[in-house]
Amino acid sequence: GDPLVIAGRTFRSRLFVGTGKYPDAATMQAALERSGTEMVTVAIRYMDFSDPRGGDILAHLDLSRYHLLPNTAGAYTVEDAVKMARLAREATGTNWIKLEVIGDRETLLPDLSGTLEATRILVNEGFVVLPYTTADLVTCLRLEEAGAAAVMPLASLIGSGQGLVDWTSLRRVIERVKVPVVVDAGIGSPTDAAHAMELGAAAVLINTAIAKARVPALMAEAMRWAVIAGRQGFLAGRIPRLEGASPSSPTAGVPL
């Protein structure tokens, strides 16, 4: 009753999952299964194009179940990101791309100007572009104007598990941008996933918080419920935050 639509494709699950960092393929498969996800992202750098099945990772993914979202992780220039996207399209047949143009090797933060430029190029070439960005409102508005199918602002540094360090900026992007906003990077726990969804995010993308949890498959299921809880909470309309108390029970009328 509440599907997510990106570029004309419908998803029932609002949890997107990454495929890096799992201890082994079986653990990854179990986590994907338990998460209920319908979209997985794979680093193009991980794909083995000499292998007709697309290399290790792709060999372990049942692409009849999961929509594939190749990503340009590791691209530090517009040129490299565009080249990776084209390679991925040729090899996998999908024109969807999670675009990353990284601007700093230490923090892996995006180069916003470069991301905007690469988005324009790839949209022009017929890609469905989901760019990784910070929660910078003006950049997100420009990405939307450039034809991005969704925007993917980070919650905090990738892999940091710090959660939504600046949720006011995320909320602002969600309120102003019309394409789906997918919160990406930094989610550390189910609470963070619920938080992003409660703010009105269309979906969240999670990798490290599942793959490096003590029990990945159980955490994947936790994230599944957290995303549903946050989405339902958003739709159900939360109570306002009050400065003072408001009793649940009558404070007069003692039956004594």
Q: What residues are annotated to the active site? A: 98
CA distance 171 to 199: 6
Amino acid 220 reads: A
Which residue of 9, 27, 48, 200 would you call a contact of its own copies, by CB under 8 A?
48
Token pair of 208 as six digits: 């490290």
Binder among 29, 137, 147, 179 for its own copies (CB under 8 A): 137
If binding is defined by CB under 8 A, does position 107 make contact with its own copies?
Answer: yes
Among 183, 198, 201, 203, binds its own copies (CB under 8 A): 198
> What is the footprint of its own copies within residues 205-234 (CB under 8 A)?
207-209, 211-216, 218-219, 221-226, 228-233
Find the shortest distance in angstroms from Cβ 79 to its own copies: 10
Q: How far is the CB of 18 from its own copies (least distance, A)?
A: 5
Q: Which two tokens stand for residue 93?
A: 């047949």
Tell the smallest beta-carbon distance from residue 65 to its own copies (Å): 21
Give residues 115-134 in contact with its own copies (rule: CB under 8 A).
116, 134
In this structure, which amino acid lies at residue 221? E
CA distances from 136 to 17, 110, 126, 222 (A): 23, 11, 25, 29
Kindly calculate the radius of gyration of the chain based on its CA atoms and give it in whole angstroms. Answer: 19
Please give the size of the binding site for its own copies, defined by CB under 8 A.
103
Name residues whose C-beta falls within 8 Å of residue 161's C-beta, 6 or more positions apart in sequence: 186, 187, 188, 189, 208, 209
Stretch that binds its own copies, among 4-12, 60-68, 123-131, 193-201 (CB under 8 A): 193-201
